[in-house]
Structure 1
Amino acid sequence: MEYNRTTPSADGYYMPAEYEPHKGCIMIWPQRPGSWKKNAKDAEQAFCAVMEEITKSEPVYLAAGKKVLARAEAFAAQQKEKYREAIACGRHFPVTVFEAETDDAWARDMAPTFVKKGGSVRAVNWSFNAWGGTVDGLYASWKLDDAFALDFAKREGYFCYDAAPFVLEGGSIHSDGEGTVMVTEACLLSKGRNPQLSKEQIEEKLKAYLGAEKVLWLPRGIYLDETNEHVDNVCAFVGPAEVVLAWTDDPKDPQYPLSLETLQYLELQTDAKGRKIIVHKLPIPDVPVCVTPEDLEGYVFEEGEDTREVGERLAASYVNFYFSNGAVIMPAFGGKNAESDQRAAEILHSICPQREILPVYARDILTGGGNIHCITQQIPQGKAEKE
């Protein structure tokens, strides 16, 4: 692995869109007691369900710490046996487990961001500080998470650009692969990220390391999103100059003014190629997803770690989906939101008719603080540049 002191943009590299072909997907086995209750048993089931759907069309590279390595390997072995013939014929894909110690399991924010040029793919490492560091970060120690991107790039032989000490998470950026990147002001201008930099300086960093020509600064994200309102929970590119936006028609819902402000902003914007942005409204669950007393059973919070309270509203959104090579892996919340789940799946099918829409019950991921997009990181199709 090499650390290049130039930038992707200077070398002709850019961040591709998530709906472009993938080599595979990075995930991390959950185990943090302050994120995943009862030894992460419920979370494990949800993560495994997501992996099972992803491997229908692409491989999964699964990191696991020493304490949970055997469980991760057992799952991978079970999948290999279950789909042995399909994997041999290329109709299903394996889960490859490797040992890596992390503080938590949010692969989107900790794994490398990948950039490409032609058939060549390189990695980008950002500084990670648990979504705000000592200002408003969600846990006190993030050293292992911060090291993960560089470690993965070295393991897989990717030429790596090191953007540190610039703080950024993968969930806070969305690219159309054609020069336009979306972020939220609420996140990127938060005091816990890069307070020494102006908005203009932050934009120049994004352009340099993502190969972007234009940055769309959405004002807000999802109500009470503890990441300071990552863009991946509120708005996502589904095509060039085409996005889905988390929405509600209820003016009494606290999400309403946030989404309305974002919609009004997008209606006035064009992308890097001068095209008007097509906005598809993707309604949030009709019934707010809130923390129950049962949800709080079995957590073990460390000193300095963000905690949960009964009645706390969680940042539930259907926008937090993952594009696999053959599908959209969509979070579903079940129960009183069964109709909302169905509506979201139908909307996404109308927008992405060439892909299968695969809802996965994801409430047990949401209670950890994120959702399906947050626990996944795509690797673009292409050749890794070796050392």
Structure 2
Amino acid sequence: MTFCLPPEWHPQDAIMLTWPHEDTDWAPYLAEVEPVYIEVARQVLQRQSLLIICHNETVKHQVHSLLQHSNIDISRLHTFIIPCDDTWARDHGPITLVDDQGNNKALDFIFNGWGNKYDASADNAINRHLLQQTSVQAEYQAVEFVLEGGGIEVDGQGHLLTTEQCLLNPNRNPGMTCEQIEQQLNQHFGCEKVLWLQHGSLEGDDTDSHIDTLARFAPDNTIVYVQCHDQNDAHFDELHRMEQELTSLRRHDGKAFNLVPLPMPAACFNQQGERLPATYANFLIINDAVLVPTYRQPELDNRALQQVQTAFPQYDIIAVDCLPLIEQFGSLHCITMQLPKGFLA
């Protein structure tokens, strides 16, 4: 049996969230950010199960109360009490492989707070606790390699897309060469070709250019990516160079990928005047739908929704207001992790 990492549009059992609470950096923003989590929960639970990590019993009670008061059917909700430092499930959640029999193997990579920028000791232990739960039937495997889910994209055709700025950063796996890191990626995920981007970054992003903020795979050999037309925007040069790199990428068969550009949101700033990493590329694929982050910019939001629909013609495209999320420098995909069919008992 050969395990491999399926693309995000592979059938799913559930989505995982780690709920924000008062002991996280979300404390000043809880009233603004919890409605985003509630809306994500509403959309997910209409289509599949939802698994929520709750820091303690108080948070678990709060989650159940919020969802029930929002008239959300919680019959497919699974809540687990596991201590957490923060809420970025994409990066501390399990990266789950499947085999052709439908078995799941959940890989538990080391999460070091995006290169030791933040304390992540509790978050790094979440998967170990989660995979001990009786309602989970995925096999557990710890991996001695630093990696976040937001740092990789796969298409199910043997290609893995990532950025040099993140995976080759000495704050992740110091002492490993590019070739050794490629070998790890191919070995763990059943891929054959790693596609490296040298360019692409967003101001305010503290992940060292996670690929899920910049360029994403879609079905039928497609890449959806952030495009910047404004030559006065600080992102113009990097994103233009990234676009040239994407144009020159080649698949196994020597053919180019189909490219679908997304607009660049207008600049968003916090109260300290820092630019926030708003991006439409940080969408989440669930069963039969794509949840797309929006930023209260109607014209650009609508154009982004149309472009995502172009890449996912068979899917419902659903806008989720994520302006509160970028206050902590992430967006919709960053707070979620998909769990493939077969993950739950």
- The answer to whether residue 339 in structure 2 is matched with residue 356 in structure 1 is no
Map of 1:331 onto structure 2? 293
Mapped contact 1:124–1:162 kept (Cα < 8 A): yes
* Corresponding letter in the other structure for 1:230: H
Q: CA deviation at 1:222?
A: 3.0
* Corresponding letter in the other structure for 2:19: W
Q: CA deviation at 1:284?
A: 1.4
Map of 2:184 onto structure 1? 205
> What are the equivalent positions in structure 2 for 1:104-119 lying under 5 Å apart?
104-118=86-100, 119=102
- The answer to whether residue 108 in structure 2 is matched with residue 130 in structure 1 is no
Write the distance in 2 (CA, Å) between the matches of 1:171 and 1:223: 14
- The answer to whether residue 221 in structure 2 is matched with residue 221 in structure 1 is no
Q: CA deviation at 1:107?
A: 0.6
- Aligned-partner SS, 1:62: strand
* Corresponding letter in the other structure for 2:186: K
- The answer to whether residue 245 in structure 2 is matched with residue 265 in structure 1 is yes
Write the distance in 2 (CA, Å) between the matches of 1:169 and 1:83: 30
Task: Render the CA deviation track for 1:53-107: whole Å, top value 9, x for unaligned.
Answer: 122211110111114221012134446xx355xx8xxxxx632212111111111
Structure 1 outlier segments of 4+, above 6 Å: none
- The answer to whether residue 5 in structure 2 is matched with residue 26 in structure 1 is no
Count of paired positions: 340
Report the CA distance shift for 1:223/1:352 in structure 2 as closer, same or farther (over 3 A): same
Task: Render the CA deviation track for 1:105-128: whole Å, top value 9, x for unaligned.
Answer: 111000100101111111111001
Write the distance in 2 (CA, Å) between the matches of 1:291 and 1:222: 19
Mapped contact 2:14–2:49 kept (Cα < 8 A): yes
Task: Render the CA deviation track for 1:139-191: whole Å, top value 9, x for unaligned.
Answer: 2x211111112222222232122212x10000001110121111111111112
Map of 1:7 onto structure 2? none
Map of 1:152 onto structure 2? 130
Map of 2:37 onto structure 1? 47
Map of 1:192 onto structure 2? 171
Map of 1:163 onto structure 2? 143
Q: CA deviation at 1:356?
A: 1.2
Map of 1:304 onto structure 2? none
- The answer to whether residue 79 in structure 2 is matched with residue 68 in structure 1 is no
Task: Render the CA deviation track for 1:203-246: whole Å, top value 9, x for unaligned.
Answer: 11111111110111112333221100100000000114211011
Sequence identity, in percent? 29
- The answer to whether residue 225 in structure 2 is matched with residue 245 in structure 1 is yes
Map of 2:331 onto structure 1? 371
- Aligned-partner SS, 1:132: helix
Unpaired runs of at least 5, structure 2: none
Write the distance in 2 (CA, Å) between the matches of 1:34 and 1:383: 28
Write the distance in 2 (CA, Å) between the matches of 1:83 and 1:73: 10
Unpaired runs of at least 5, structure 1: 1-10, 88-92, 293-309
Q: TM-score, normalised by structure 1?
A: 0.84
Task: Render the CA deviation track for 1:312-339: whole Å, top value 9, x for unaligned.
Answer: 11111000010011211111110xx221
Report the CA distance shift for 1:288/1:20 in structure 2 as closer, same or farther (over 3 A): same
Task: Render the CA deviation track for 1:15-55: whole Å, top value 9, x for unaligned.
Answer: 00001211110111112555214362211111111111122
Write the distance in 2 (CA, Å) between the matches of 1:332 and 1:174: 21
* Corresponding letter in the other structure for 2:217: F
Report the CA distance shift for 1:23/1:270 in structure 2 as closer, same or farther (over 3 A): same
Q: TM-score, normalised by structure 2?
A: 0.93
Write the distance in 1 (CA, Å) between the matches of 2:191 and 2:198: 19
Write the distance in 2 (CA, Å) between the matches of 1:148 and 1:350: 36
Write the distance in 2 (CA, Å) between the matches of 1:161 and 1:370: 27
Q: CA deviation at 1:291?
A: 0.8
- Aligned-partner SS, 1:131: helix
* Alpha-carbon RMSD: 1.8
Map of 1:98 onto structure 2? 80
- Aligned-partner SS, 2:328: coil
